[in-house]
Homo-oligomer: A and B are copies of this chain.
Amino acid sequence: MKLGAFGRKSRQRTVVPPATVESMQSHSHSVLRLGILGCGTVGGALIRLIETDADRIAARTGIRLEVSRVAVRNLSADRDVNLPSDSFTRDPASLVNSPDIDLVVETIGGIEPARQLVIDSLKSGKPVVTANKELVANVGQELFEAALAGGVDLFFEAAVAGGIPLIRVLRESLAGERISRVMGIVNGTTNFILTKMTEEGAEYADVLAEAQKLGFAEADPTADVEGGDAAAKAAILASIAFGAKVVAGDVYQEGISRISPADIAAASHMGHVIKLLAVAEFDGREVAVRVHPTMVPEHHPLASVRESFNAVFLEGSEVGDLMLYGRGAGGGPTASAILGDVICAARNLQQGVASDLGVLSEFAIRPIDETDSAFYLQLDVEDKPGVLAAVTSVFGDHGVSIRSMEQQGQGSTAHLVFITHQAREADVQATLRDLRNLSEVKDIGALIRVIGD
């Protein structure tokens, strides 16, 4: 990208002649013709939102949004949107290539055919707004390059944490900030399940079944409960927060399916709650990024994020602690994020410019084995003399220092709860392996990472 100088010349204004704020209202509006790929929950909500609010948006921004074409799989499906039937097409390529479309919104999800359609749109000079986290988390770099080549915007605010404004905040508001850590509750389903387990003392399987009945969890909940959804979002957050190339496959992931009411009770006993966190860290040289259940102190702002709400907590060099909280999913919040992106892209298109995507550089991804954390671990052991010494010496052998230990007797079995000081993941895993080989150890519960205040 060739950069103009900040001289007198480049400061001439061609598109913003002198005018008062009031006089803007009396001018006619530019029409932006939208092509929308997909008409499911998100696409439908967006079309309804534009129908309701087009006049208000035109009055405020000077831009009149018009849904020109919508690509769908099934033309005869019943849709709760008020568009002429000839707006719909089964041919997304014709939409992308049409000279009558100014901007493309992609809401179909998945990698293909979304990837090819987005690339073709960008290459033909059409800005793209997408809500597709798999796409950005897996082939983001390719999309960024196509956007730069086309000289147009690629926006994806809706791809991470739905209605919470994160991407634009990281790219623009925090452009001068060195972000060292991002911790997010970015999956509503798992936060709903953990909230119910915490507040009602319920079992994981029972709450999952209830969530499925209520429509908060999919019939196949794997992507949510095993952390895959959160991992894709973590990759995008790390990319934008650190300016680093990070893809979904770089993210270590553990889900919540092994979390028991006993773990939650133990956390509560220590003044903590268990949350599924996406954690991304950057020290200027290496990026570490992972998704796992985490014990969060009750006073931490992330601890009060309940039910299906999402939140992202950032630690910046100057700004300090910052948290953004809101609805991470659903038609309304996602459509709102898309609409914000569409309006920004429209303003840029009007002025003949594109937003700076920033530079994504190559940094090493730190393997999970080389990351540090405090850990919580529960063991059931035979209740006989010498067992505690045997167990603690295993920790010691691997240099894992114990911060606290609590023993609850249960007849022939003693229940031990350990919290470690900060320890290297590899050392803790080696400790676990050796503990499993100890004949006195009957059972090992979930290993849960613990964050400080």
Minimum CB–CB distance from A142 to chain B (whole Å) comes to: 10
Check B336 against A326 for contact (C-beta < 8 Å). Answer: no
Q: A60-B243, A168-B169 are in contact. Are A318 and B151 (CB under 8 A)?
A: no
Minimum CB–CB distance from A168 to chain B (whole Å) comes to: 5
Check B299 against A306 for contact (C-beta < 8 Å). Answer: yes
Q: Does A62 contact B (CB under 8 A)?
A: yes
Contact pick for A336, options B11, B30, B60, B176, CB 8 Å: B176
Instruction: Tell me the count of chain A residues lying within 8 A, CB to CB, of chain B.
Output: 108
- Chain B residues with Cβ under 8 A from A174's Cβ? 165, 336, 340
Q: Does A259 contact B (CB under 8 A)?
A: no
Check A327 against B319 for contact (C-beta < 8 Å). Answer: yes
Contact pick for A30, options B3, B125, B178, B332, CB 8 Å: B3
Minimum CB–CB distance from A169 to chain B (whole Å) comes to: 5
- Interface 0/1 of A356-369, CB less than 8 Å to B: 11111100000000
Q: Does A57 contact B (CB under 8 A)?
A: yes
- Chain B residues with Cβ under 8 A from A350's Cβ? 3-4, 6, 10
- Chain B residues with Cβ under 8 A from A327's Cβ? 319-322
Please give me the residue from chain B that is nearest to A354 by CB atom. B16
Interface residues of A in 160-199 (CB under 8 A from B): 163-165, 168-169, 172-178
- Chain B residues with Cβ under 8 A from A325's Cβ? 301, 321-325
For the complex, give the distance between the alpha carbons of A3 and B62 in Å: 7
Check B176 against A157 for contact (C-beta < 8 Å). Answer: no
Q: A2-B27, A360-B21 are in contact. Are A151 and B332 (CB under 8 A)?
A: no
For the complex, give the distance between the alpha carbons of A177 and B347 in Å: 16
Please give me the residue from chain B that is nearest to A353 by CB atom. B351
Q: Does A342 contact B (CB under 8 A)?
A: yes
- Chain B residues with Cβ under 8 A from A361's Cβ? 25
Please give me the residue from chain B that is nearest to A351 by CB atom. B353
Given A304-B304, A323-B323, 19 extra CB contacts under 8 A: A1-B24, A1-B27, A2-B17, A3-B62, A3-B63, A16-B148, A53-B178, A57-B176, A61-B175, A164-B322, A169-B173, A175-B344, A176-B339, A301-B304, A319-B332, A322-B326, A323-B324, A351-B351, A351-B353
